[in-house]
Structure formats: structure tokens, C-alpha cells
Amino acid sequence: MLIRLVLGFLLAYLLARAGTPMARQAALSFGVVDRPDGNLKHQREPVPYLGGLAVFAAFLLALGMTYEFDQELLALLLASTIVATLGLIDDFGVLTPRAKVLGQMVAVFVLLKSGVSVQLAFMPPWLRIVVTVLWLIGMSNAFNLVDIMDGLASGVAVIAAGFLLVVALLNDRGVVAAFTVALLGALLGFLRYNFYPAKIYLGDCGSLLLGLTLGALAMVIDYTDHNPLGFVAPLLILAVPLVDTVYVTVLRLKAGRKIYHGSPDHFPLRLRRRLGGDTARTVLFIYGASVVLGALGVIVLFLDPRSTLILVGAVGVVVIGVLIWLARVDMGTG
């Protein structure tokens, strides 16, 4: 098992390192680029998309060469393929927000049809289905929303995947570990080109893939062996995209804007303004916060319910305080 995990990681990493420059060249050739607009996009020159395609190809090939597919793994792969394809189409600018959500619903249905759903025994079956749909659609769009800065979404995904790998190994979940380690390797190979100043972006293909895949991996692990409230662990491990989604939604609704229209309301953009406009410093700061929150997520697995509530309450107070502080930043026109 250990040899397979190491091999899967190395293959995914090397394939992504080799494939990302090719995806970049293809994106430039076909004009699939993100152009600066002076509003929300301030890069000096157009940056190609299709990074998500390189991540997905490396991830898929590494898994196929190192692991036998069972029903759960096939369902996860098919759902990931659906959202990656959906995002790739959207990178060409031909999908509406409604069509994107419908495509995500199809991917979630594939998982539900294969028996993949949240592992919360105290919920009745119908409620598990509802929570599964809301969780996966929410995570898909959360990573799509937080992909707003060089290396941010991919780096946060690396950290989250690392902690989910730890949880999978603690639970002896070989399939989840194999899936996670391949994604981790592909992301690290891609991050070499995506960190500031980015030479290529994930695009919707990558961000939707990361959101649904990490959401599904977090969902199928049992967190309650030692702690009945252990299910809060994935909320901490994936806190950065979740918090930003809630934050953006609240601020946009408060301002009377549609929640799917771009605006500078994201907390990373506000944090960058607080840090003097330094993108690399901002991203590294958020990486640090992700590591702390992910570590707390793993610690929760071994706490008692009372200690868990105290910890979650303390984290909540700190997060809300920081968000209120950031809300006072004058973002101007973006």
C-alpha cells in the first residue's frame, strides 16, 4: 500500500510538471487566456487557463497506473471527470451559471447513485442526500470563487489534501488515500507554475474539479470513531474556501449585487489590500492559516465533545473578528 501511494504521488507530480507547460502552450495557441481588465484582473499580461486540464490528466493517469478501480473509486473518477469537462467548456466562455450548477448536479447524482454520501449515522437517509447535494455543490463553487489570486486555490487545495490524506490513513481508507495522494502530487507539480507570478491558471476546469473532489473525499471518511462531534473536522480542513464563499455571499447580498457576479469582496483581496498589495505575502499568510485550521481539524478527531465546542467557538470568534476587520477595508473600484 505504501509503495503504491508513493508511486502514485511521484507519477502525478512528474506528469503535472511535464504536462502543465504543454497545457499553457495549448491555451496560448487557442486564445484561452485571462486578460487584464483594470477592475478585478490586474495581471500585467494575459495568463493562459487550462491548468486544471493538466492537473486532471496527471491525477487520472497516476491513479490508473497504480490502483485497481472499485465501485467507489469509479464513481469518484466519473464525477470528477464530469465537473472537469464542465469547467473546461466554461473556460471557453460558453456556459451560463445555471448550466454550470446543473452539470454539477449530474456529477453529484453519479456519486449518490453509487452509494457515496455523507457518513453521518444520526441523519435519516433523506437528510443525508440533501446534505450531500448541498455540501458538494457548495464545495465546487467555493473553490471556483476562491481561485482569485496566483497560487491561492491550488495551494489551499494542497494543504487540504494533505490533511485529508492523514485522516484517510488514520481511518485505514486505502481508496481515499490513493485518490488524495494522486491529487496532491498533481497539484504540487502544477503549483510550480501557478504560484506568484503565475504562468498559468487553474481555470474553471481545475477549480470545479478541486472543489467537488476534495468535498467528496472529505465526505466519505468517518470522523466520529473517538469524538461524536468529529464531523466538524472537514469544516476546519476546508475552512478557507468555505469562509470566503459565505463572506462574499453576505457582502454581495448586502450591497444588492448578484452572488455570481464578480466583485472585490473576497477576504483574500481585502487582506492583500491590508498587506500593501503584496500577492505572494498574502497567499503565504493564507497558507499558514490553512495549515493551522487543518491541524485543528485533525486534533478534533481525538477530543471530547466539550473540548470540541470550546475549540470551534474560539476559532469562530477569531475568524469573525478578522472578517469584520477586513470588511472595513476600502476596496475602491477593485
Q: What is the pLDDT of residues 115-167, one digit of tens each?
A: 888 877 778 888 989 999 999 999 999 999 999 999 999 999 999 999 999 99
The pLDDT assigned to 42 comes to 62
Give every CB contact of residue 35 below 8 A, 6+ residues apart in sequence.
Answer: 41, 46
* Pairing, β 47-48 against β 33-34: antiparallel
The dihedral of CA 74, 152, 47, 327: what is its sign? Answer: positive
The predicted structure's pLDDT at residue 213: 95
pLDDT, residue 168, reads 93
pLDDT of the residue at 49: 87
* Spatial separation of the C-alpha atoms in residues 296 and 301, rounded to whole Å: 9
pLDDT of residue 157: 97
DSSP for 147-174 reads --STTHHHHHHHHHHHHHHHHHHHTT-H
* CA angle (252 as vertex; 248, 256 as ends), nearest 5: 170
Three-state secondary-structure class, residue 332? coil
pLDDT in tens, 5-46: 999 999 999 999 999 999 999 999 888 887 765 566 666 778
What are the grid coordinates assigned to 121, written together? 449515522
Please identify every stretch of the chain with a pLDDT value under 50, giving residue numbers as ranges: 333-334
pLDDT at 334: 40
